[in-house]
Structure 1
Amino acid sequence: MTGPARPPVPLSAGADVPPAQTFDVALLDLDGVVYVGPAAVPGVPRALERAAAQGMRLGFVTNNAARTPEQVAAHLTELGVAAEPDDVITSSQAAASVVAGLVGPGGRVLPVGGPGVAAALTAAGLSVVETAEDSPAAVVQGYGPGVGWAQLAEAVVAVRGGARHVATNTDATIPSPRGVLPGNGALVNVVSTVTGQPPLVTGKPDPAMHAECVRRTGARHPLVVGDRLDTDIEGARRAGAASLLVFTGVATPADVLAARPDHRPDLIAPDAAGVLVPHPAVTAVEGAWRCAGWEAEATGERLTLRSVGGHRDDGDGLDGLRALAVAHWARHPDHGAAAAVTAGDGAAATALAGWGLGAA
């Protein structure tokens, strides 16, 4: 008696038709997807405008709790991305909803983070307090560039006094024009380490944020677009949605190869303009996996990439990575594993170097 058939390896199916024409809503992360720091990712505003013109609705789902939906929508509009406050779901809103259920209407809550945290708490009918001496029932901690020792100290004292520690997210890092910088998770760890109390986390990958965006947009076939495996891609899987990973933020090609099953995206692209183009399938051929002009073979724990068919990538430059990922994931269907990659020819060596994988 045979067991149930395994689902197809992620990435293997590709997309014959551009996602903007088959998915009704894009659930877009912001930091590292639409913008990095204050500036738009080059070409993305125009790409999203084209996607919307093709009928794809845009929703924005961000773990960044620093700003209000109104501020986020205004920033997006300045960058050339049409957005209304109701199109934006922040992790502060998710945390406020959870905390309101825990402490009840009017409950006292100490915010730690940018103005978006306090604004979301107030909108949820909670009473915002400023110090631990105000006896808060909960501390809600979200990202804010101005968070310092004084706020963290108040949070520690409040949690030690019995307040529930709630984190909008535990992203350890955030992308920036200066490279990866400490994220909310790094500061949440300060409070939890000092108090010995693990926080309740309400942002992605918890499916509540994506579910709320689906509810607001009426999505029937949504696509999550993100730059992080541990929040965006896992969150998509937990919400039952397809996912597109982009490389304009945190995740790297090496991260993709080593991804555990719930962190494996359905599609990959250099940036969010990937919603506008077809994605090639990866097919099994004679003990290897082929994607367009590239073939990847897994032998033991080693992967070998080589060019085939006398041509190179003529699309987004990621076909070889697609072949490598599917070959490795098919070898490790139930767990993530680091990959040692060998170049089978000069073209493969160049491609691997371009992805930061080198050539063993």
Structure 2
Amino acid sequence: MSRLSQEFDAVYFDLDGVLYRGLVAVTGAAETVSELVRSGCTVAYVTNNASRTPGEVASHLHELGIPAAANEVITSSQVAVQILGKHAPVGSRVFVVGGVGVEQALLDAGFIASRDPRDCVAVVQGFGPLVSWDDLAQASYLIQGGAIWIATNLDSTIPTQVGIAPGNGSFVTAVRNAVGREPDGVGGKPDRSMMEQTMAAFPAEAPLLVGDRYDTDVAAGIAAGMSTMLVLSGVSTPADVWASKIRAGYLGESVQDLITEYVGPQKSTDGYCCGEAKAEYLVTESVVRATGGTRLERLRAADSLKWSLVEHVGLDPFAGGHISLDLGEQ
């Protein structure tokens, strides 16, 4: 056994639900990142949350004991503004929906960032805790009038220290319902643009993307051809792991699993095992049952068995009768 971190020369971290939830650090996040940095591993922060500037994000990470510099942070606002540049000339007046992160990214790129919709030729829509109905309505009116529409990201939810809250994707859906069309571009994960920018800024031979969502983080890593790790400290649950139609290369309870001894799943005579856990497919019950070991070991074994059924047996857990998962939890 070895530490998972030893297999990679760069780790790109998502933030919300991975290193922190709201204002509170995920347990072990500071220790994990600090150890990676000490070992010489390249670390970068790649967030779909558009509400803050890279400097503000870095300051927040520092407050949580996590080493970070502003130039190590890539936000979906920055990528969205790059995409906007393909549709509108620098100097164009752009209506801002979202926090200061959206506004500053526009200003840094030479656009006129406006909270007044008059004379705006484009809309950049990102997350902000003070986004209002009027913001969404004014954006909708502009888009219906022909304005370019760029969304920073499509995350439907965002994890906080209190619970799961609506994310920018929920607000984008509201505007989509009003205007009857899709955005002209999306900056954040899973779009390739964000990871291409990250890899250009922080090149590596063996990078790992760590996130808490399949639909954005894991999908982005797969699209970019890099290894992925899904952690259960944010949005995703074991049920999401089982239901996902794409596969994360590694599963962890949190980022701490990067720097602890990694116990990987192994094929056994009747299924898969992982540490003290084993997973079997019970045909008559149409269930994959995992027993023994820790929850994470059971989940790793069950996930490997699921994908073995898909890839080698031709069985589709998602179709027809549906194969359920039993992790031995009530």
TM bin (shorter chain): over 0.9
The runs of 5 or more residues in structure 2 that have no matched partner are none
* Cα pair distance change 1:331/1:66, threshold 3 Å: same
Partners of 1:61 and 1:297 lie apart in 2 by 37
Contact 2:317–2:323 at 8 Å: present in 1 too?
Answer: no
Q: Deviation at 1:178? A: 1.5
The residue aligned with 1:268 is 251
| Aligned pairs (5 A) from 1:1-360 | 16-134=1-119, 136-199=120-183, 200-261=185-246, 264-300=247-283, 301-307=286-292, 312-313=293-294, 317-333=295-311, 337=318, 339-342=323-326, 352-353=328-329, 358=330
What amino acid is the match of 2:189?
K
Contact 1:267–1:279 at 8 Å: present in 2 too?
Answer: no
| SS at structure 1 position matched to 2:307 | helix
Bigger shift: residues 48-57 or 252-261: 48-57
Q: Deviation at 1:242? A: 0.5
Q: Deviation at 1:336? A: 6.4
What amino acid is the match of 2:95?
L
| SS at structure 2 position matched to 1:60 | strand
| SS at structure 2 position matched to 1:332 | helix
Q: Deviation at 1:57? A: 1.9
Q: CA RMSD in A?
A: 1.7
Partners of 2:135 and 2:123 lie apart in 1 by 11
Contact 1:27–1:210 at 8 Å: present in 2 too?
Answer: no
| SS at structure 1 position matched to 2:177 | helix
Partners of 2:59 and 2:317 lie apart in 1 by 40
| SS at structure 1 position matched to 2:96 | strand
Bigger shift: residues 284-293 or 234-243: 284-293
Deviation string for 1:180-208 (max 9, x for gaps)? 11000111111110111211322100122
| SS at structure 2 position matched to 1:132 | coil
Partners of 1:47 and 1:93 lie apart in 2 by 27
| SS at structure 2 position matched to 1:103 | coil
| SS at structure 2 position matched to 1:111 | strand
Bigger shift: residues 104-113 or 333-342: 333-342
Bigger shift: residues 159-168 or 280-289: 280-289
Contact 1:169–1:201 at 8 Å: present in 2 too?
Answer: yes
What amino acid is the match of 1:352?
G
- Identity across matched positions, percent: 37
User: TM-score, normalised on structure 1?
Assistant: 0.85
What amino acid is the match of 1:189?
T
The runs of 5 or more residues in structure 1 that have no matched partner are 1-15, 343-350
Contact 2:306–2:317 at 8 Å: present in 1 too?
Answer: no
Q: Deviation at 1:112? A: 0.3
Instruction: Flag as ranges the 4+ runs of structure 1 deviating above 6 A.
Output: none
